Amino acid sequence: MEKDIGRITKNDRSDIVIRLDDFGGQRGLTIREFVTSERYTGFTKAGVRIPATDFPKFKEMINSISKDDIKPTQVAPQEPEESESDESELPDY
């Protein structure tokens, strides 16, 4: 049994695929990278598998993350520091 749940675009050549599957006779959730290129199209080794028995714990952990927890932070541009010494001088170590 394989059932794709969804894809998240990583870049123009790869996606993150979330799927339910049977591996070694055990059901679970697999999160893997899928690439499309001239040399290879398919899943890479990069990814993680959560066994069905651990899925409730995984779901609880994911659901505990709020939108504020993952909100991107704005980094203010920093002003270049003015140096009092001549720029041609090397610092003493």
| Predicted local distance difference test score (pLDDT) of residue 88 | 58
Write down the residue that tokens 């999160």 correspond to.
31
- Which of the listed CATH numbers 1.10.150.170, 3.40.50.300, 3.40.50.720, 2.30.31.10 matches domain 2-58? 2.30.31.10
Q: What is the mean pLDDT of each run of 10 residues along the chain (93 residues)?
A: 93 95 92 94 92 95 92 74 58 62
29 contacts 18 by C-beta, under 8 angstroms: yes
Q: State the first-to-last Cα distance of the chain, in angstroms, to the nearest integer.
A: 64
